[in-house]
């Protein structure tokens, strides 16, 4: 599923607004020990963002790359912009930035993901953040995770993922190192107890 499909979706799937938590047997290295927030799920596929993988770039790097500021201006950025979190959102379109944020900031290009969370992938939100404005809670993600029709359902049935209701605190929590364990704890699961082998009765 692509961003354009997300904008035009008319149906919601059972994984909308859910966390996907990778099982230990996950073979795809892109998703080893990941927690993914699913933004859209339908018969056409699914789209979401990894929320626990660091990115080497800073928000200042992004502004410089987009030529929104010059080197000399970097020191003048407000603290909220200098410290703004950047994460690796997934392997699809990894050079493209998306801002997942609270719904107190809405532009014409913002897409509601849930009752409280929106997604904006245009420069207006980047400008707002660089000036100390923008949403109260947000993170920038480079790239996203996408699945075609039926693909994600097959991965779940093959014991690739667990799913549970998303937790907004965890989505925007900047502490990434133990987010996988904390997501499992939402389900009452200890990571050490998970088996990498599928158990089909």
Q: Residue 103: which CATH number?
A: 3.40.1740.10
Is residue 35 included in any domain, yes or no?
yes
pLDDT (mean) for 113-136: 91
Is 155 inside any structural domain? yes
User: Which position has the higher pLDDT, 199 or 165?
Assistant: 165
Asked if the model's pLDDT at residue 95 lies above 60, the reply is: yes
User: Residue 81 in contact with residue 112, Cβ under 8 Å?
Assistant: no
SS3 59: helix
User: Could you give the count of Cα atoms lying within 13 Å of 103 in the half-sphere of its Cβ?
Assistant: 9
| In the chain, % of residues over pLDDT 70 | 91
Q: CA 57, 59, 61, 63 torsion: positive or negative?
A: positive
Tell me the residue range of the domain where 94 lies: 3-193
Read off φ and ψ for residue 100, nearest 5 degrees. -95, 130
Q: Is the pLDDT of residue 186 over 60?
A: yes
Q: What are phi and psi of 106, to 5 degrees?
A: -135, 130
Q: Residue 200: its pLDDT value, please? A: 47
pLDDT tens sequence across 163-179: 999 999 999 999 999 99
Q: How high is the mean pLDDT of the chain? A: 88
**Which pLDDT value is given to residue 9?**
54
Written as six digits, the tokens of 194 are 């998970």
- Residue 143 inside a domain? The answer is yes
Task: Assess if residue 160 is contained within a domain.
Answer: yes
| Count of structural domains, the chain | 1
């Amino acid at each position: 599923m692509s961003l354009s499909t997300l904008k035009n979706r008319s149906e919601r799937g059972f994984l909308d607004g859910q966390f996907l938590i990778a099982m230990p047997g996950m073979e795809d290295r892109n998703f080893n020990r990941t927690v993914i927030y699913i933004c859209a799920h339908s018969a056409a596929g699914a789209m979401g963002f990894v929320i626990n993988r660091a990115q080497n770039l800073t928000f200042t790097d992004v502004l410089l790359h987009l030529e929104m500021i010059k080197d000399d201006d970097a020191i003048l950025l407000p603290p909220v912009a200098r410290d703004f979190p950047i994460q690796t959102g997934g392997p699809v379109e990894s050079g493209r930035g998306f801002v997942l944020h609270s719904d107190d900031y809405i532009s014409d290009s913002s897409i509601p993901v849930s009752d409280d969370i929106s997604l904006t992938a245009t420069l207006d939100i980047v400008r707002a953040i660089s000036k100390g404005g923008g949403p109260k809670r947000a993170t920038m993600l480079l790239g996203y995770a996408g699945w075609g029709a039926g693909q994600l359902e097959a991965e779940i049935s093959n014991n690739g993922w667990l799913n549970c209701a998303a937790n907004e605190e965890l989505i925007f929590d900047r502490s990434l190192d133990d987010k996988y364990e904390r997501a499992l704890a939402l389900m009452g699961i200890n990571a050490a107890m998970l088996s990498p082998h599928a158990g089909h009765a």
